[in-house]
């Protein structure tokens, strides 16, 4: 892998250690929500809508207009899909509406707090109705990455997002060339059967390539396909999302 794909060498003003912490937080939180989603566990469509709302609530501390047309245009979905999903979020008391604006419900706030605590992700406690704030735009970054995968393939899943993020972590921040399937499954806490199906689909989509293990001929190593049309775009999304000047400042305030 060429030097420009090592985050630690390229981040202006952000140490490799901070980049590693931020990327770990991103992967751990996305995996946690993938495993704990009550419905559509692998659906990028559902995750994209939720990440759009949650980024506004917890990254930006801002309500969202209660307007299905507006939200649909922001995430590239049909208004009908957004309307159905919002109804489910209302029923689950995940979101509240007040004077034409959407706010997080207590159960949504608590699920994010639990996610961050379970994964040892630093967050800020706030005195407004959002109650918590992410240390950097973590949720928006995960949503943007998921959106890119979905734009490239209607068959992409949230599991694929987790696999790719794990490979970025090991390649760009640990200096290793790829991971075995067992290592990926362990990193993102995905069952072998689910991971196998996910990897097969990613091979068909040319997202992954396979190489011989450097010292164990019984094993093979998976890595991101650097020839894939979206490869550099994915890298740029992560690089821009992780190199946020306010990251360390916010963490110092915690």
Does residue 81 form part of some domain? no
Nearest to 29 by CA among 113, 90, 93, 103: 113
Nearest to 48 by CA among 16, 24, 81: 81
Does residue 221 form part of some domain? yes
Nearest to 172 by CA among 130, 244, 234, 122: 234
Does residue 128 form part of some domain? yes
Q: What is the pLDDT of residue 212?
A: 77
Q: Are the CB atoms for 59 and 134 separated by under 8 Å? A: yes
Q: What angle do CA 231, 141, 83 make, to 5 degrees?
A: 110
Q: What is the pLDDT of residue 68?
A: 96
Does residue 187 form part of some domain? yes
What pTM was computed for the model?
A: 0.85
Q: What is the pLDDT of residue 175?
A: 61
Q: What is the pLDDT of residue 199?
A: 92
* Predicted confidence pLDDT, tens digits, the chain (254 residues): 333 344 444 444 445 567 778 888 999 999 998 888 654 445 788 899 999 999 999 999 999 999 999 999 999 999 999 999 999 999 999 999 999 999 999 999 999 999 999 999 989 999 999 999 998 899 999 999 999 998 888 788 899 999 999 999 887 666 667 899 999 999 999 888 889 999 999 999 899 988 877 777 778 889 899 889 898 899 889 888 886 554 443 333 32
Q: What is the pLDDT of residue 154?
A: 78
Does residue 76 form part of some domain? no
Q: 3-state SS string over the chain?
A: CCHHHCHHHHCCCCCHHHHHHHHHHHHHHHHHHHHHCCCCCCEHHHHHHHHHHHHHHHHCCCCEECCHHHHHHHHCCCHHHHHHHHHHHHHCCCEEEECCEEEECHHHHHHHHHHHHHCCCCCEECCCCCCEECCCCHHHHHHHHHHHHHHHCCCCEHHHHHHHHHHHHHHHHCCCCCECHHHHHHHHCCCHHHHHHHHHHHHHCCCEEEEECCCCCCCEEEEECCCCCCHHHHHHHHHHHHCCCHHHHHHHHC
Q: What is the pLDDT of residue 244?
A: 57
Q: Which domain range does residue 200 map to?
A: 3-64+105-253
CA-CA-CA-CA torsion sign (176, 134, 52, 10): negative
Q: What is the pLDDT of residue 78?
A: 94
Total structural domains within the chain: 1
Does residue 95 form part of some domain? no
Q: What is the pLDDT of residue 58?
A: 97
Does residue 225 form part of some domain? yes
């Amino acid at each position: 892998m060429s030097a420009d794909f090592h985050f630690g060498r390229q981040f202006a003003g952000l140490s490799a250690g901070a980049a590693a912490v931020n990327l770990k937080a991103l992967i751990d939180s996305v995996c946690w929500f993938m495993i704990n989603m009550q419905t559509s566990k692998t659906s990028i469509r559902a995750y994209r809508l939720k990440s759009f709302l949650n980024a506004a609530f917890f990254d930006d501390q801002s309500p969202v207009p209660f307007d299905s047309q507006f939200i649909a245009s922001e995430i590239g979905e049909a208004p009908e899909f957004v309307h159905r999903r919002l109804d489910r979020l209302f029923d689950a008391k995940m979101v509240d509406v007040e004077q034409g604006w959407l706010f997080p419900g207590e159960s949504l706030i608590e699920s994010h707090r639990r996610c961050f605590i379970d994964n040892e992700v630093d967050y800020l406690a706030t005195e407004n109705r959002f109650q918590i704030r992410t240390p950097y735009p973590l949720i928006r970054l995960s949503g943007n990455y998921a959106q890119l995968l979905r734009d490239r393939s209607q068959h992409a899943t949230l599991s694929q997002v987790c696999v790719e993020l794990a490979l970025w972590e090991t390649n760009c921040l640990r200096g290793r060339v790829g991971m075995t399937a067992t290592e990926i499954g362990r990193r993102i806490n995905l069952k072998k059967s689910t991971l196998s199906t996910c990897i097969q689909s990613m091979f068909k989509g040319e997202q992954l390539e396979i190489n011989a293990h450097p010292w164990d001929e019984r094993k093979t190593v998976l890595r991101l396909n650097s020839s894939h049309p979206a490869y550099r775009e994915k890298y740029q999304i992560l690089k821009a999302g992780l190199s946020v000047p306010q990251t360390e400042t916010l963490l110092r305030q915690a």
